[in-house]
Chains A and B, each alone.
Chain A
Amino acid sequence: MIEEPLLSVRDLRVTFPPRRGRPAVRAVEGVSFDLRRGETLGLVGESGSGKTTTGRAVLQLQRPSAGSVRLLGRELTDMASGDLRAMRRHMQFVLQNPYTSLHPRMTVGQILSEPLAVHRAVPPNRRAERVAELLSLVHLDPKVVDRYPHEFSGGQRQRIVIARALAVNPDLVVCDEPVSALDVRTQAQIVQLLSELQDKLGLSYLFIAHDLAIVRSLAHRLAVMFGGRIVELGDADRIYETPVHPYTQSLLDAVPIPDPALQRARLARVAPEPHIPRHEADLSPCCFGEDHRATGRPRWHEVGPGHHVSCHFWPTAQAGADGANAGQG
């Protein structure tokens, strides 16, 4: 029997209520995925695709309007706030911008002690020791405990944010674009650190990003989001080699190849970006030739082992035209 996943998300929906005459925004529309222990799931997509909202809804920082989120076999969506706070020691959050996600008037020591105190993770007399341990874990000098966040660079701050997330030995860390606010050299160091910590501590990451190169270096599996839905989900390597959904293809095509000649040739060859419809009528049959209204099954198709593609958001002209042969050459 397959081991139960650490995190299991089913049909997650987040709808923001209508405000000032604007209609309700359906930011996440039925997202489902599993995350196994020690695994990294990359969640990619363009701005507004709902990936950050998905991450926040998994952590219950944004209460989902429907669906289920199970962590360690426990349902989070209907949990009382006290129990949920206790569950937070198993799931932590690394935010995008290290310049704003640290309390400007708290020292590093205070910032790192807070989760320890909240969850009574270590007795008060051992907190200083644990803080020093955390700082060395993220390769910072334990002597910095009395400094304030503004005395550090962006990369160092992000290390502090990561140390805070790891303070209570979580099982799941949701990383929301953890490196996109940093310069390129620092990005590589933080990615290296995250992967090293995963090996050392057996962490699972839900890694939200728009930079495909960074996701590729970390993620075992990949979920591509568009318009509030996952349009493609599978092993990262497989999706990078043979993307099936037209949106995934255009997303991967947007990554430049670091070879001017090849890149120029590719630009000349690649057809203009397909227009991906944000809203579409129920096509019957869908691009995979299935009439979902007749079969009643979800619009979700397995195109390879563990590789699933949605038949939502296919450009009408292209519908059904390309199946598994849709690599980028």
Chain B
Amino acid sequence: MNDAAPRPGARGRLLLTIGLVMLAVLVAVMVLGPSLAPYSPSRTTPDSLAGPTAQHWLGTDSIGRDLLSRLIVGGRSTLLITFASVALALCAGLVLGLASGYLGGRVDLVVMRLLDVIFAFPVFLLAIAVVAALGPTVPNLILTIAIVYTPTLARVVRAPVLSVKRWDHVEAARSVGVREFDIATRHVLPLVVSPIIVQTSLTLANTIFTVTALSFLGLGPPPPDPNWGSMLAEARQFMELAPLTVIGPAIAIVFASLTFIVLANGLREALDVGSR
């Protein structure tokens, strides 16, 4: 199991490289956002629903705002919400999954049943209910999506913990006198990270869709700020007049989601998940 260092196959290495390049593009857009955009995303011009020109590479939307600038700035908000909510879900999932798997018994029973309750709701139904109850602000959206994805991540943490905690080196650590908390975090957790990394990447891909879908339904960040989901919703009625206003955000969403799927597959092969 640990004799040969995991050798990523050529396919895995290629996927990983492509995924990392795509991720770099996304992160650059997210970090550099406003300074990269040629215009302010809220600046209107008389030219509404114009096609691509030298000034507006992707054209303008229904009230004459530059589409490229809105895509870039909107991407920042979409990706920020995505990363923040997955980070939150990952933290919760790590704590709950590790506690549940390592401690077992009653803790496991209670935690897993609670997560099952969340898991039982369709993702969107739950998200809509929470956002509707708490109000469509960015922090609420992040919290909602984090709650929705916590059970998946907690399960992915728990399952390998259940087996790793019975390995000999864990008993050896216990016989040495290491504290249970340190055994769980230092002797068990480092050996279960591979599947968690892969699942986190897949969750990011799903979250992109969830975030944009909620924004599309009007449950995302409030209107003045651009956002891929709300841009799609606004542009929908002008789809035939100016197809780019729909195609632009759609491609951006697919690109972002694909990034994490490619990355997850690359990581899966590079980290040798599933062969253990």
Q: Which residues of A contact B (CB under 8 A)?
A: 59, 61, 85-86, 88-89, 92-93, 95-97, 100-105, 114-115, 118-119, 149-150, 161, 164
Contacts A95-B168, A150-B2, A150-B3 given: A103-B187 contact, CB under 8 Å?
yes
Q: Which of B176, B178, B190 contacts A92 (CB 8 A)?
A: B176
Q: How many residues of B contact A (CB 8 A)?
A: 18
Task: Give the residues from 191 to 216 in chain B that come closer than 8 angstroms, CB to CB, to chain A.
Answer: 191
Q: Which residues of B contact A (CB under 8 A)?
A: 1-3, 167-169, 171-179, 187, 190-191
Q: Is the interface of A mostly helix, strand, loop or mixed?
A: loop
- A86 surroundings in chain B (CB, below 8 A): 177
Closest 10 interchain pairs by CB? A88-B177, A93-B175, A100-B168, A104-B2, A101-B168, A85-B177, A115-B176, A101-B172, A103-B169, A150-B2
A149 CA to B3 CA, complexed, in Å: 9
- A164 surroundings in chain B (CB, below 8 A): 172, 176
- B177 surroundings in chain A (CB, below 8 A): 85-86, 88-89, 115, 118-119
- A100 surroundings in chain B (CB, below 8 A): 167-169
Q: Which of B167, B172, B178, B190 has the most CB of A within 10 A?
A: B172
Q: Is the interface of B mostly helix, strand, loop or mixed?
A: helix
- B190 surroundings in chain A (CB, below 8 A): 105
A150 CA to B169 CA, complexed, in Å: 14
- Residue pair A88, B187 in contact (C-beta under 8 Å): no
- Residue pair A114, B2 in contact (C-beta under 8 Å): no
Contacts A61-B171, A95-B171, A104-B2 given: A85-B187 contact, CB under 8 Å?
no
A116 CA to B3 CA, complexed, in Å: 27
Q: Nearest Cβ in chain B — how far from A193, in angstroms?
A: 18
- A96 surroundings in chain B (CB, below 8 A): 168
A104 CA to B168 CA, complexed, in Å: 11
A93 CA to B2 CA, complexed, in Å: 23
Q: Nearest Cβ in chain B — how far from A286, in angstroms?
A: 38
Contacts A103-B187, A105-B190, A150-B2 given: A114-B168 contact, CB under 8 Å?
no
- A118 surroundings in chain B (CB, below 8 A): 176-179
A96 CA to B173 CA, complexed, in Å: 14
A-B residue pairs in contact (CB < 8 Å), sample of 28: A59-B175, A61-B174, A86-B177, A88-B175, A88-B176, A89-B177, A92-B175, A93-B171, A93-B172, A95-B171, A96-B168, A100-B167, A100-B168, A101-B168, A101-B171, A101-B172, A102-B169, A103-B169, A103-B173, A104-B169, A104-B191, A114-B173, A118-B176, A118-B177, A119-B177, A149-B2, A161-B172, A164-B172
- Residue pair A97, B168 in contact (C-beta under 8 Å): yes
A97 CA to B176 CA, complexed, in Å: 16
- B175 surroundings in chain A (CB, below 8 A): 59, 61, 88, 92-93
- A95 surroundings in chain B (CB, below 8 A): 168, 171-172
- B167 surroundings in chain A (CB, below 8 A): 100
